[in-house]
Amino acid sequence: MRDEKPIQFIECKWSDSSVSDSLRYLKERYPACEAWQISAIGKKDFMGSNNIRVCPATVF
């Protein structure tokens, strides 16, 4: 946190399934905050339309 506001959200998953509603909610509430979905065995690597980065742990 910086100035009592979050600076980064990271959601960790085993596979690269869909982004959770919770992470989407947090990104909408704090649009300036970076948001990542990291997967342990997933292969997808992209920036979603909601500005949430999805990537494998090896890229992160």
- Convert the pLDDT of each residue in 4-43 to its tens digit: 999 999 999 999 889 999 999 999 999 999 999 999 999 9
User: Domain limits at 28?
Assistant: 8-56
Q: Is the pTM of this model over 0.85?
A: yes
Domain count for the chain, please give it.
1
* Phi then psi dihedrals of residue 22, to 5 deg: -65, -45
Confirm whether 1 is domain-assigned: no
Rounded CA separation 57/39 (Å):
6
Confirm whether 2 is domain-assigned: no
Confirm whether 3 is domain-assigned: no
Confirm whether 46 is domain-assigned: yes
Retrieve residue 60's tokens: 């992160």
Rounded CA separation 14/9 (Å):
17
Confirm whether 44 is domain-assigned: yes
Rounded CA separation 26/52 (Å):
10
